[in-house]
A and B are shown apart, each in its own frame.
Chain A
């Protein structure tokens, strides 16, 4: 009886898993191949920007590399398709498009003011020095607002763009734009197969039985403060 149940259950799960695998839903490796193919196509210059002109698109690509760079674990946000993702959404929303065209233009203007060239033409050190200045201005603003933690839940922070009305730094337009660029770039990276692998996310799979590895249990329990 219990055997029969088990077989039925295995069968149900088996067909489910087979169905899902057939649909390509549960095979991250396969996704990686598809993704690699897309990358190759992109490398051949196949992607046609829908919204940005080439200079803007390339600047976004450089920003994506700076925000989430390639490292020993995985590729960059540019590899993960961040510029394409931003281009697609901007092509569908005048509001978002204006944020990015305006922000990219600000970035070039600020770099020209500092070093006499567009962001893309500046040296890597000059680029990171500008981004560092933006992050520093952002942090100063956060401290000024008394939001030292968990600001993401705060309605005030959600309306981050409104900070411009209480401007304390000339860099604030850049801070606001960089927050947008970073949000979308980070999203594009971590939702991509590259990002999923970088984080070592193991879920979105089907099992007949759910198990928690003892190794993980022991690791974490050993690191808890002594509660006895």
Chain B
């Protein structure tokens, strides 16, 4: 019935929806095996020269980064600042989402080839062995249908391909991988490391997807510290530059940009037949046929697509016999605190930009001491500090603190580079009150029903955030510093991150050993539709304190190896 409204009926071996970490990995792995792929991206093709503002000084633009009319000052500037290459945001014009009463949720979407991988933090942590069996350990949540041993080889492939720095540490909470040499620690990080040693907290070289040696035509990092702006030399990982562009060169990949997927089509006998999308240029609906459909549109967008694909066979949405599509939405527990460190005052200045993030981090250290804690699971700690590039807003707080005039100017100079920041990134336990569903009342400008979010942190998360607060305070005070980042007055609003704001939303299309308890099997394949896969964070069963991207890369790679073999055998 849809074919009639479609102008074109191209057919591919595999159609991949979404070009971020999951979709990028899928087209890279599949085209390398000679499989013909189509890739749909809801945003435009990435033009690096146009899009990436790497190396620009604020004074090279007349608004200095405050944007036209000083939008920044009214809280209406680009998320993460003018110079970052976000190409999207918390709200997209014409593509709304809603939030249920009593809930708070922020949904960050990028609309450009490569999606959020163009600007993400590049933290690349393997799950621990215990992260795949959380229920078996503490009776909360669910176990994954895959083990660390199943995924480890694919972590290795992903690390070796995208390039991840690190060091061999032998820590159970942070398994070692295939690592690039890490850059040396910065001074404030050495101070933090020393304080952590005293406190029994491991503080080790960071694991980020940045090359410190040239590889496959990608030059090594040049240490401008601006990964969030997009890297013109592709020295860090972005799916656009590292996977999709090379896959296009194989001749096996066709990219459809500005293509907004609307629904998955099926043949009435349990197989997917393709995808209907809206060409944003013409507002025409088109149908792409494919032998296999891979969703990698981001956890919530993939859930939305499945829920919006209702047929007689799948009245609750394709592959949703379990009713679990959209359920058990998780974000990362976030809490931040900063401190002022007098030991850094008067230090000879040097370039602290480094490779675009902290050079050290603290993995979870109490994995075998849960009996002493009042919350389950754990968190890792990310570090901030150094002499950052002066940007609009950099000195507002200092200026307010010091008034104005010569004294203010002197104090700003004195205090510059003396602050350190700590960001906890912890595991949330999936709960029934956190999910997304189709809003029965609203559609976006393409006529596609939109998502409505519901979200609640539980006591588990709140208590974890309090533990973070205590730990960060201890580190700051051990360094002889003073906490500056949180006052009692803001405890209520700032005591835990706003749900969604860490941009680690996962779990809406989860894996399971049995079709009753989840949507996908351990290869990201739908239990009910053998030629339908979900290869983004949607497949996550839990959301350990490891930033999700590397695991998305690894699971997508593993799923594609399986898929290619199933196609070869004629099973799919």
Contact = CB atoms under 8 A, between A and B. Distances in A.
B33 interface: no
Contacts of A172: none
B466 to A, nearest CB: 17
A147 B489 contact: yes
Nearest to A149: B487
A203 B387 contact: yes
Given A154-B493, A183-B73, A227-B478, A220 B390 contact: no
B487 A151 contact: yes
Contact of A224 (B68, B343, B391, B416): B343
Contact of B400 (A138, A198, A210, A221): A138
Interface stretch (B51-59, B87-95, B526-534, B547-555): B51-59
Contacts of A66: 404-405
B343 A223 contact: yes
Interface string A131-151: 110010010000001111111
* Of A158, A180, A190, most B-chain CB atoms within 10 Å: A190
Given A188-B64, A224-B191, A203 B224 contact: yes
A211 to B, nearest CB: 7
A88 interface: yes
Interface in B29-81: 55-59, 62-66, 68-71, 73-75
A93 B70 contact: yes
Interface stretch (A9-17, A54-62, A108-116, A162-170): A9-17
B1 interface: no
B63 A210 contact: no
B567 interface: no
Given A191-B392, A201-B390, A227 B195 contact: yes
A81 to B, nearest CB: 8
A137 to B, nearest CB: 11
Given A68-B409, A89-B70, A190-B394, A148 B222 contact: no
A210 B406 CA distance: 35
A186 B413 contact: no
A225 B479 contact: yes
B224 A204 contact: yes
B489 A156 contact: yes
Contact of A92 (B69, B213, B226, B351): B69
A9 B214 CA distance: 7
A201 B389 contact: yes
Interface in B366-392: 387-392
Interface string B207-229: 00000011000011111111000
A208 B495 CA distance: 41
Contacts of B190: 217, 220-221
A152 to B, nearest CB: 4
B73 A184 contact: yes
A26 B221 CA distance: 16
Nearest to A68: B409
Contact of B351 (A67, A203, A220): A203
A190 B490 CA distance: 28
Given A196-B57, A202-B350, A220-B187, A9 B486 contact: no
Contacts of A154: 487, 489-490, 493-494
B102 interface: no
A9 B219 contact: yes
B340 to A, nearest CB: 10
Nearest to B343: A223
A187 B392 CA distance: 5
B490 A225 contact: no
Contact of A192 (B59, B187, B478, B486): B59
A20 interface: yes
Interface string A191-215: 1110110111111111110111101
A223 B342 contact: yes
A3 interface: no
A128 interface: yes
A202 B66 contact: no
Contacts of B64: 85, 187-188, 191
Interface residues of B, number: 90
A155 interface: yes
A138 B215 CA distance: 55
Given A153-B490, A224-B194, A182 B399 contact: yes
A96 B194 contact: no
Interface in A100-128: 128
B395 interface: yes
Contact of B409 (A25, A69, A180): A69
A201 to B, nearest CB: 6
A132 B403 CA distance: 8
Interface string B474-488: 000011100011111
Contacts of A223: 342-345, 480
Interface stretch (B125-133, B178-186, B277-285, B293-301): B178-186
A203 B352 contact: yes
B400 A152 contact: yes
B350 A183 contact: no
Nearest to B479: A224
Contact of B75 (A9, A88, A135, A158): A158
B454 interface: no
B487 A150 contact: yes
Nearest to A155: B493
B69 A89 contact: yes
A34 to B, nearest CB: 10
A101 B394 CA distance: 25
A74 to B, nearest CB: 8
Contacts of A95: 69, 74
A22 interface: no
A138 B408 CA distance: 15
A85 to B, nearest CB: 6
Contacts of B470: none
Given A5-B214, A12-B214, A151 B392 contact: no
A135 B409 CA distance: 15
Contacts of B70: 89-90, 92-93, 96, 184
B387 A199 contact: yes
A215 B347 CA distance: 9
* Of A31, A132, A150, most B-chain CB atoms within 10 Å: A150
Interface of B: 55-59, 62-66, 68-71, 73-75, 183-188, 190-191, 194-195, 197-198, 213-214, 219-226, 233, 338, 342-355, 387-397, 399-400, 403-406, 408-410, 412-413, 416, 478-480, 484-490, 493-494
Given A201-B390, A204-B57, A220-B191, 19 more contacts: A12-B214, A16-B219, A16-B233, A25-B55, A92-B68, A92-B70, A150-B338, A150-B487, A158-B75, A187-B66, A201-B387, A201-B389, A203-B352, A203-B353, A204-B55, A204-B226, A212-B350, A220-B187, A227-B197
30 contacts: A8-B214, A9-B220, A12-B220, A66-B405, A68-B404, A68-B408, A93-B70, A138-B400, A154-B487, A154-B489, A158-B75, A182-B400, A186-B395, A190-B412, A191-B59, A191-B390, A193-B57, A201-B388, A202-B387, A203-B351, A204-B353, A205-B224, A206-B224, A208-B222, A212-B184, A212-B185, A216-B349, A220-B343, A221-B194, A224-B343
